[in-house]
Each structure stands twice: as C-alpha cells, then as structure tokens.
Amino acid sequence: MTETNTMATIALVDDDRNILTSVSIALEAEGYKVETYTDGASALDGLLARPPQLAIFDIKMPRMDGMELLRRLRQKSDMPVIFLTSKDEEIDELFGLKMGADDFITKPFSQRLLVERVRAVLRRASSREATAAAGGAAPKPGAAQLARSLERGQLVMDQERHTCTWKGEPVTLTVTEFLILHSLAQRPGVVKSRDALMDAAYDEQVYVDDRTIDSHIKRLRKKFKMVDNDFDMIETLYGVGYRFREAA
C-alpha cells in the first residue's frame, strides 16, 4: 500500500447499493477513503463541496445520469473520473471520453480490476499535477512513466497530454489502452505477451484473465478503424501475444 493510496479520497456514485457496498469495501481495503452517493444530483453538490482525488460514476442513474453529472462537473472541476457502464457500447464510451472521462469499466467487473484501474488513473493525475507544479518539467522516473512523445510512422502519442493521433486524426484512448499501445509501439516488430502488456499498464503484476487483454486490443483496433478502416498495425501471434507492425 502506498502513501498515495492511504491519502486518496474516492467518490462513488451509483444507484445500486450492492455495488456501493462491495466497491467501497474493496477500495477501503486498499487504504482509500470512500464517499458514496446514490444519485447524480446529490453527488454534484458533494463533489464540489468536498472534492475527492477521483470519482467513479455509474452511467445509468435516475434524476441525473453519469453523463450529465460529468458534463456539469467539468464546468468547474477537472478531477479524474472513471465510468461504470452496464452495456459495452462504443458510442457511450467515445461520448464519455470526449466529455472528459478518464476510463471506462464495464459491468460485471472484478474488484481487483477496478482497484488497478483506480491506481492507474490516480498515477496519471499525480504525474500531471507534479509536472504542472514544476512548470512543465518532466516527472520523476517511475514504473509507469512513458517517454514524453512517441512517433511511429503515422502514429503519434503524447504522454503528458494523453493524446494519440493516427494520420493526424485524434484517437481517444482510455488510460489502460494508451499504456498498452505505447508498450507495443515502443518496439515495433517485437512480440509482447499478455503478461508483459499488463506489466506495462500497471505498476505491479495482477492476475487478469487473458480475455481482458484481448478485449483491450479489440477496442484499440476498433477505435483506430473508426479513423482509418485499413488500420492493421496491431498484429496477433496466436498463443504468443501481440506486436506493433514494423513500417514497410
């Protein structure tokens, strides 16, 4: 457990009390302080009055859903936000990310996966704050630190701004997707196993089913194909892993 974990407060907004309870227990076990809300309307006042280090919103809620809550929150705050969604629809994810969400987790999810996503988003937020406080200086080296900018042919990734473009067109990625793609693109032609990709996305090794990595890769391909239908730079080597194709 790190000092950052111990000090961080996380706001959890969901109308399902079972999820509020189970997720709160999981996060508190990791040293986080958790504040819970059962609807977006009451959460907005609390988030602005007592800003947490990170907020987790369910998308489908009565009175004010997660999308509207994020829209109103972004008028006054840039705190990191992770969405919980019960349906795996790309339009919801892309819309939410463009509005300023930092990551998405699709229900049902493992508590361990949620904790790791929380850690990843908090790390990025902490790095961003440290960079801003230092007047733009590079953050201190760490397990999750990336090069400031990476270019591989038509792919350009900027870690400090968390931006990614392909052929000059923006591709909106979650924190985990960004880290996985960066790991692949750092060494084109080199095969990365699923375990290696998880190590790239998180500070410490965690057990995640192979299908989780496959799902991230599937989402990455889908997002790039929305920009360029001919995109084929992420190759699968069955039984081995994935690699970023070397430029011809």
> For the stretch 80-108, what's the b/e string if a residue is b when 16 or more beta carbons lie within 10 angstroms of its beta carbon?
bbbbbbeeeeeebbeebbebebbbbbeee
**Is pTM, for the whole model, over 0.75?**
no
Q: What is the pLDDT of residue 85?
A: 81
Please give the Cα distance from 58 to 60 (Å, whole number).
6
Structural domains of the chain in order of their starting residue, each with its CATH number: 3-132 (3.40.50.2300), 149-244 (1.10.10.10)
Predicted local distance difference test score (pLDDT) of residue 10: 97
* Residue (of 220, 213, 232) closest to 164 by Cα position: 220
Residue 143: the pLDDT is: 36
Position 231, amino acid:
F
pLDDT along the chain (248 residues), means of 10: 63 94 93 94 93 93 88 89 75 67 83 87 74 50 52 89 89 84 93 85 55 84 94 93 87
Alpha helices in the chain (DSSP H): 3-7, 17-29, 40-49, 66-73, 90-99, 111-133, 175-186, 194-201, 210-227
Residue 137: its pLDDT value, please? 46
Could you tell me which of 98, 97, 146 has the C-alpha nearest to residue 124?
146
Q: Cα separation of 215 and 106, whole Å?
A: 11
